[in-house]
């Protein structure tokens, strides 16, 4: 190729007697470039979907994929050498999940490059089917159940699962040194009632990540008999990973109780609830408490439990600042599980963007005999249900972390125990309508009072019945304080207990709260 300068071109043209003519000014810039795909496109799809009749047809999988167990479905593995976004190395890698087991519904998974979306075509060559050789004959219309993004979360050379979307509207993500436990959902509908339904994602779009970056952008289209929705998820992977969620809901019918930013977890047994025992393991839970930062700037801690029957708790609020399901007990000795590492389960904390107005944080605790069942749900329920024809937009951030010291910056409730109530100086328990609660607080400024806990005032109240007595002593093992308080109530009543510590009018701790019912009279 000959590279001529402008001066050389003029000289060459002059040698031939030709004239150099300036090009005419273009009459137009030509066709406009195609607009880049983004949230507005998903928004329009959700609006159109809400105006159409709801369709809930799930194409049947061929035998044996229509009857897979968890173990047989888990044999189907995405071939890592087919992962998308893997070049250049060091960033995200995209892989899909195969349909089957509890995940028969197909979803469309697209990638976006230079603003243009393109679906990932299904091929059995993408998967290693293990012993399921029949998978090699599956057709191109089989589809996927969901997807995951892997990233070097803990080690520059190891691609851990950083986020996954699988089943209905469930998703979960991790930060450093964390191991999967609880999950989040896009939306819950009539949770805690016999009218509950589960909306689901129909389609995803994943932007091609910036090379070497730790951020990913995902769009999703939600569908369900009660509502449709458009979602954008902005993931940032780190020590504490964050997920910024932007959503617009299009209700299909009126009077529906929607749960925004729902979190789902498991609590089988723990220090404050021994109803179900599991051999040598003293505790089994993915989360051990609900933390709320309410509009009055109060931090509330509600220990979780495994009740004998469904238990619903509502925390009315205005302009709620945040809520989350946390795993505070980080001690291996509490769980003694070498494989499942419950001490490394992440906590999820939701922080709204803007004012969510009036509503309540709703906590649902269901009875379970098995650690494989998610029996805990927490979400925000607006006081006024969204109406059909009126899109409902909201946004929030979820943080996945371990200790997260910025949450509840004063003293925290770190242990909760129950025991028979006893009068002072008596070895005999009081009647069955009384109970002793023992709460350990640590952190904040509590270490300052360990040598003189007499300066600290116990503020214990009950919505019914009465507080019989209370006391606070030092607990040097946690560099904090231990509180004892006894409560009595009528048989069959459910009372709400509240407890916090203060000194000279200054609040030292978050507010511990718990519902309690004395045994019913027989």
Q: Sorting pLDDT into bands at 50, 70 and 90, what band is 518?
A: confident
pLDDT at 21 over 70: no
CB 256 within 8 A of CB 189: yes
Q: Phi first, then psi: give them for residue 24, nearest 5 degrees.
A: -65, 145
For 26, the token pair is: 């273009």
Element holding 15 (H helix, E strand)? helix 6-15
From the list 490, 493, 510, 492, the residue with the least C-alpha distance to 501 is: 510
The band of 35, judged by pLDDT with boundaries at 50, 70 and 90, is confident
Percent with pLDDT over 70 in the chain: 92
Percent of the chain scoring above 90 in pLDDT: 82
Mean pLDDT of the chain: 91
pLDDT tens digits along 492-502: 899 999 999 99
> Are residues 104 and 160 in contact, defined by beta-carbon separation less than 8 angstroms?
no
What span, in angstroms and rounded, lies between the C-alpha atoms of 244 and 222? 17
274-314 pLDDT, tens digit each = 788 777 888 999 999 999 999 999 999 999 999 999 999 99
* Alpha-carbon distances of 60 from 104, 130, 133, 282, 353, rounded to whole Å: 8, 22, 19, 42, 41
**pLDDT tens figures, 214-223:** 999 999 999 9
Question: What sign does the dihedral 234-164-186-42 (CA atoms) show?
Answer: positive
For residue 383, the tally of other CB atoms under 10 A from its CB is 12
Structure tokens that stand for 107 in this block? 């979803």
Using CB atoms within 10 A of its CB, is residue 456 exposed (0-12), middle (13-18) or buried (19+)?
A: buried
pLDDT digits (tens, 9 = 90+) for 355-379: 999 999 999 999 999 999 999 999 9
Q: Looking at the predicted structure, is the pLDDT value of residue 351 above 90?
A: yes
For the cut 60, the answer to whether the pLDDT of residue 18 exceeds it is no
Q: pLDDT at position 3, please?
A: 37
Question: Is the model's pLDDT at 5 over the cut of 50?
Answer: no
Output the pTM of the full model. Answer: 0.91
What is the dihedral angle through the alpha carbons of 209, 210, 211, 215, rounded to the nearest 10 degrees?
-70
Other beta carbons less than 10 A from residue 428's beta carbon: 7
Query: For 82-115, how does the pLDDT look when each residue is reduced to its tens digit (9 = 90+)?
Result: 999 987 777 999 999 999 999 999 999 999 999 9
SS3 for 157?
coil
More confidently predicted of 269 and 7? 269
Q: Which two tokens stand for residue 466?
A: 């009465």
Question: What integer pLDDT is reported at residue 427 of this predicted model?
Answer: 64
Judge whether 388 and 253 are in contact, CB under 8 Å: yes
β-pairing, 299-303 with 511-516?
parallel
Q: CA-to-CA distance for 188 and 263, rounded, in angstroms?
A: 9
Q: What is the CA radius of gyration of the chain?
A: 29
Confidence (pLDDT) at 239: 97
Residue 425's pLDDT is what? 65
For residues 482 and 436, give the distance between their C-alpha atoms in angstroms, rounded to a whole number: 13
């Amino acid at each position: 190729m000959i590279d001529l300068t402008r001066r050389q071109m003029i000289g060459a043209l002059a040698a031939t007697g030709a004239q150099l003519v300036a090009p005419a000014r273009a009459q137009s810039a030509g066709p406009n470039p195609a607009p880049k795909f983004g949230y507005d496109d998903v928004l329009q799809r959700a609006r159109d979907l809400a105006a159409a009749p709801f369709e809930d047809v799930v194409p049947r999988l061929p035998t044996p994929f229509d009857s897979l167990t968890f173990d047989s479905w888990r044999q189907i593995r995405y071939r890592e050498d087919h992962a998308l976004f893997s070049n250049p190395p060091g960033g995200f890698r995209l892989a899909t999940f195969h349909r089957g087991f509890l995940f028969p519904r197909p979803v469309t998974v697209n990638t976006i490059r230079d603003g243009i979306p393109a679906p990932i075509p299904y091929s059995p060559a993408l998967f290693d089917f293990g012993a399921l050789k029949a998978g090699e004959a599956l057709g191109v219309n089989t589809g996927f159940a969901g997807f995951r993004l892997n990233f070097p979360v803990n080690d520059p050379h190891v691609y851990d699962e950083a986020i996954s979307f699988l089943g209905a509207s469930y998703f979960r993500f991790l930060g450093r040194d964390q191991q999967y436990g609880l999950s989040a959902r896009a939306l819950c509908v009539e949770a805690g009632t016999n009218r509950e339904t589960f909306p689901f994602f129909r389609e995803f779009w994943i932007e091609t990540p910036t090379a070497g970056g730790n951020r990913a952008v995902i769009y999703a289209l939600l569908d369900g008999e009660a509502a449709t929705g458009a979602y954008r998820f902005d993931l940032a992977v780190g020590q504490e990973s964050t997920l910024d969620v932007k959503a617009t809901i299009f209700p299909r019918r009126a009077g529906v109780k929607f749960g925004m930013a729902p979190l789902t977890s498991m609590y089988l047994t723990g220090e404050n609830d021994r109803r179900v025992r599991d051999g040598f393991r003293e505790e089994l839970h993915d989360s051990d408490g609900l933390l709320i930062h309410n509009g009055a700037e109060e931090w509330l801690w509600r220990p979780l439990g495994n009740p004998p029957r469904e238990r619903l708790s509502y925390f009315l609020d205005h302009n709620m600042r945040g809520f989350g399901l946390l795993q505070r007990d980080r001690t291996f000795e509490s769980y003694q599980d070498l494989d499942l590492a419950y001490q490394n389960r992440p906590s999820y904390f939701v922080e709204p963007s803007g004012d969510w107005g009036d509503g309540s944080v709703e906590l649902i605790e269901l009875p379970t005999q098995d650690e494989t069942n998610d029996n805990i749900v927490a979400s925000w329920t607006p006081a006024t249900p969204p109406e059909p024809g009126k899109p409902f937009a909201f946004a929030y951030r979820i943080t996945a972390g371990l200790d997260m010291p910025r949450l509840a910056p004063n003293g925290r409730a770190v242990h909760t125990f129950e025991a028979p109530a006893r009068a002072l100086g008596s070895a005999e328990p009081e009647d069955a309508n009384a109970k002793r609660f023992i709460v350990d607080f640590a952190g904040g400024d509590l270490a300052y009072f360990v040598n003189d806990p007499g300066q600290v005032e116990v503020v214990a109240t009950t919505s019914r019945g009465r507080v019989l007595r209370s006391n606070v002593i030092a607990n040097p093992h946690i560099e904090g304080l231990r509180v004892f308080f006894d409560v009595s109530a009528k048989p069959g009543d459910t009372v709400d207990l509240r407890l916090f510590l203060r000194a000279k009018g200054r609040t030292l701790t978050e507010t511990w709260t718990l519902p309690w019912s004395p045994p019913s009279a027989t």
